[in-house]
Amino acid sequence: MKKSKFRDFILHLVIMCFAAMTLMPFSFALNNSFRSNAELYRSFFGFPREMRQAAHAGWAMIRGSDLQFAVEDWDNEGEESVVSASTAFHQHVRNFTRGYRLAWDVLRDYMINTLIVVSVTASGVVLMGSITAYILSRYRFPGSRFFYYMIISTMMFPAVLTLVPSFMLVRELGLLNTYWAMLFPYIAGGQVFAMFIFKGFFDGLPEELFESARIDGAGHVQLYLNIVVPLSKPIISVVLIMNVFATWNNFLWPFVVNTEGEYHVIASGLYVMATSHFAQNFSTLFAAYMVSSIPLLILFTYATKPFIQGVTSGAFKA
Amino acid sequence: MMSTKAEGTFFTPRFKFNLSCYFILLIPISMLTLFIYVPVMWAFSGSMFEFEIGGDSQFVGFANYYEFLFLDPTTYPSLLNMLFITFFMVCVRLSFPLVVAKLVFSLTKEKYRYVYRIIFLIPIVVPGVAVQLIWSGMIYNDRGLLNELLRLFDFSEVGFLLAMGFTEEFLRSISPSEWTMGWLSDPRTALIAVVFVGFPFVGGFEVLIYYAGLTGIPESVNEAAEMEGCTGLKKFFLIDIPMVMSQLKLILILSIIGGVQGFENLFILTRGGPGFETTVPGLWMYFNAFSFQRMGYACAIGVCLFVIIFTLTFLNFRYFKSTEELETQK
């Protein structure tokens, strides 16, 4: 027994080393999002100064001491003033969150665009994929095999082959600089994989269910809404989440089709921001990276299970 | 719904039913055709033309392919870069996450195993673009982690060594603090720096996939191995690796496809520079299409990459057997 405890201790140690190295860049980014460039250049490591001073002032505020504090105003080119504890506390907090405020001003529009694109894409993909899979999985009709192979074989074409012609197509259709330039290709591409996953699941549903419903006079719509959807809730959430992650991370396509830069999503917006006049403003950039991670962090927290299920079933192939 | 009376011979209930199926498939199939099949065909046909966007096109036959394969001086260096990056990616994505998955799997308590799997998954919430930007701004930057770490080791300031009689000049020359450089902008290190983004390469996806593979090993196999005295490293190489072969195969294919066609990270980190040190064919395709307006040439590069990916995937399916296939063969 003692031996296995020692072994576990060593294992913990090694795994923690790996975990620490994996998380290191992100923790440094988080730390430095609260520090000014001057602080960063003075020393790369180190706790955010304004945060520490905010803690001091905050503690003085709680004790009700009437000490005076000297604070800089970062929004006002570091102008220094001597103020009471509570004013100092609020000023310090404003200082170390300055990066976040600036980042959010830029990211807000991108965030809205992303939420629109991601939610419409995900619902479109699930809807298209599931009705196609329902038809192809439950019925045989002339051409059903053909349609199945026609859909499946698109998985063979890599994104690199279709990038340039897709751009030309979207341009010909006059969709550049619209949401549709992202929505249509995303849904068309995403439904293939969704169909593949759904079909595998629907094939396993007992035919008797459908048969009895059909005898009761149910049509396609009733069958789909009353049998398929309620039974496939878990698989729907898997497909939804996989799709949200894929869409969220797609950088190149939004970057290419938004020639005027109005409809950038988070991914392309971050790149645009990093190459703009913010390029040397590290606290703002790092704050932007952190802000851009929050929505997926929330999603991930609430949907860890379907996510893990999706990954382990090999659902991340596409 | 199928009980309606047949009117004539043509509009049988069966025919009506089929019609409803076609009707439902109409939207998905037409979207698929327009946004996937049309671009695919356009890629092949467009590669035969020389044209700018919105400009006239001129039929040139296979000249674009000829140019890419034989005339373009960037082709072979960029293909070599691509090979190196792909090879590196395959190596690290088949090894590091598997080792970590095995370590996590070996823990006694299920609670900790779950916690660690979640911990390694956390970084996926950061958008891929942000990961690249964090690495270029935080690790490889002039004031980044790597350079700052090196600057910590300046032997010429260590009194003990000076007292031992080493000259300050000599000490400085052997100090790591002299090795600081622009990792992404120096031609000697750019390619290495690019592939080391993401160190230690323990991606949450891969860990989860390998972990699932390890969980799938039947208890009887584990027990038999233990009875035969096959434990530790021996078990890892003789039992675990063959048993997770299908997961390894999946990651292998994904890494190869990703390595051949991926260029977003290079676009963000170096834009192919310095010079053409980190250019890959995909990136060259992007620049031809969107910077030089050579759409036909870009299509031809895309088709070449498609051929490479298709061949490699086919070979992979043909010759690299997964666990199940190995079992059925016996």
Q: How far apart are CA A296 and CA A189, in angstroms?
A: 22
Rounded to a whole number of angstroms, the distance from the CA of A86 to the nearest CA of chain B is 34
Interface A-B, measured as beta-carbon pairs within 8 A, has a size of: 258
Tell me, yes or no, if A253 comes closer than 8 A to chain B by beta carbon.
Answer: no
Q: Between the ranges A213-217, B21-25, B130-134, where is the mean pLDDT highest?
A: B130-134
Range from A22-36, B287-301, B314-328 carrying the lowest mean pLDDT: B314-328
Q: How far is B44 from chain A (nearest CA, A)?
A: 9
Q: Which residue of chain A comes nearest to B140, CA vs CA? A: A25
A252-264: average pLDDT: 90
User: A160 is written with which tokens?
Assistant: 């690199």
Interface residue B264 vs chain A (CB under 8 A): yes
Rounded distance between C-alpha atoms, residue A217 and residue B4, angstroms: 11
The mean per-residue pLDDT over the stretch A57-64 comes to 84
Mutation test of the interface with chain B: which of A111, A160, A251, choosing the one with the most B Cβ atoms within 10 A? A160
Q: Does A311 sit within 8 Å of B127, measured CB to CB?
A: no
Instruction: Assign A317 a pLDDT band (cuts: 50, 70, 90).
Output: very low
Half-sphere exposure of B246 (CA within 13 A, CB side): 15
pLDDT of the residue at B328: 53
Give the DSSP letter string of A156-202.
GS-HHHHHHHHHHHHHHTT-TTSSHHHHHHHHHHHHHHHHHHHHHHH
> Mean per-residue pLDDT for B152-175?
78
Least confident of B7-16, B70-79, B162-171, B197-206: B7-16
Predicted local confidence at residue A281, as pLDDT: 84
Q: Do B20 and A40 touch (CB under 8 A)?
A: no
pLDDT (0 to 100) of residue A313:
67
Of A32, A187, A271, the CB nearest to B268: A271
Residue B299 pLDDT level (bands cut at 50, 70, 90): very high
Q: A38-47, A54-63, B40-49 — which one is most confidently predicted on average?
A: B40-49
d(C-alpha B141, C-alpha A88), whole Å: 33
Judged by average pLDDT, the poorest of A123-132, B104-113, B141-150 is: B141-150
State residue A71 phi and psi, 5-degree precision: -130, 150
* B322 confidence band (pLDDT: 50, 70, 90): low
**CATH 1.10.3720.10 is the classification of domain B65-142+182-329:** yes
CA–CA dist B164, A125 (Å, integer): 71
Q: What pLDDT does residue A166 have?
A: 93
Pick from B22-26, B269-273, B319-323: least confident = B319-323
pLDDT score, position B326:
54
> What average pLDDT does this structure show over B140-159?
81
Query: What is the identity of the amino acid at B307?
Result: V
Task: State the Cα–Cα distance between residues B316 and B310, nearest whole angstrom.
Answer: 10
Tell me the one-letter amino acid at B36. Answer: I
- Which residues of A are less than 8 Å from B36 in CB distance? 154, 157, 162, 188-189, 192
Architecture in CATH of A99-312: Orthogonal Bundle (1.10)
Tens digit of pLDDT for each residue in B66-117? 988 888 888 899 999 999 999 999 999 999 999 999 999 988 888 888 899 8
Among chain B residues, CA nearest to A244: B125
**Mean local confidence (pLDDT), B172-198:** 84
Q: What is the mean pLDDT of chain A?
A: 87
Indicate whether B4 pLDDT > 50: no
Q: Which of A73-82, B170-179, B226-235, B295-304 has the highest mean pLDDT?
A: B295-304
- Alpha-carbon distance of A91 to A113, in angstroms, equals 32
pTM of full prediction above 0.95:
no
Question: Which residue, among A301, A262, A287, has the nearest Cα to A112 in the 3D structure?
Answer: A262
Q: Which residues of B touch A300 (CB under 8 A)?
A: 121-122, 124-125
**Residues of chain A neighbouring B31 (CB-CB closer than 8 A):** 128, 184, 187-188, 191
The pLDDT value recorded for residue B235 is 85
> What's the complex ipTM?
0.89
Is residue B296 within 8 angstroms of chain A, CB to CB?
no
The reported pLDDT for the residue numbered A2 is 65
Task: Tell me whether residues A139 and B21 touch, CB distance under 8 A.
Answer: yes
Interface subset of B 119-138, CB within 8 angstroms of A: 119-131, 133-135, 137-138
Q: Where are the domains of chain A?
A: 28-96, 99-312
pLDDT in tens, A285-304: 999 999 999 999 999 888 88
B252: its two tokens: 């292998």
Supply the pLDDT for residue B9: 60
Distance, CA of A188 to CA of B29 (rounded, Å): 9
Q: Which two tokens stand for residue A143?
A: 């051409």
48-77 in chain A: CB under 8 A from chain B: none
| Span A161-199, pLDDT tens digits | 999 999 999 998 998 899 999 999 999 999 998 998 898
Model pLDDT for residues B110-140, shown as the tens digit of each residue: 888 889 988 998 888 899 899 999 998 888 8
Q: What's the mean pLDDT when you consider all of chain B? A: 85
For A247, name the nearest residue in chain B, comparing CA atoms only. B127
Helix axes B245-261, A159-172, angle to 10 degrees: 50
CB contact under 8 A, A219 and B27: no
Which chain A residue has the Cα nearest residue B269?
A271
Q: For the residues A211-216, what does the mean pLDDT come to?
A: 86
**Helices A180-202 and A98-138, axial angle in degrees (round to 10):** 50
The answer to whether the Cβ–Cβ distance between B302 and A160 falls below 8 Å is: yes
Which DSSP category does A70 fall into? E
pLDDT band at A318 (very low <50, low <70, confident <90, very high): very low
Would you call B24 and A171 a contact, using CB atoms and an 8 Å cutoff? no
Does B3 or B241 have the greater pLDDT score?
Answer: B241
Q: What percent of chain B has pLDDT over 90?
A: 24
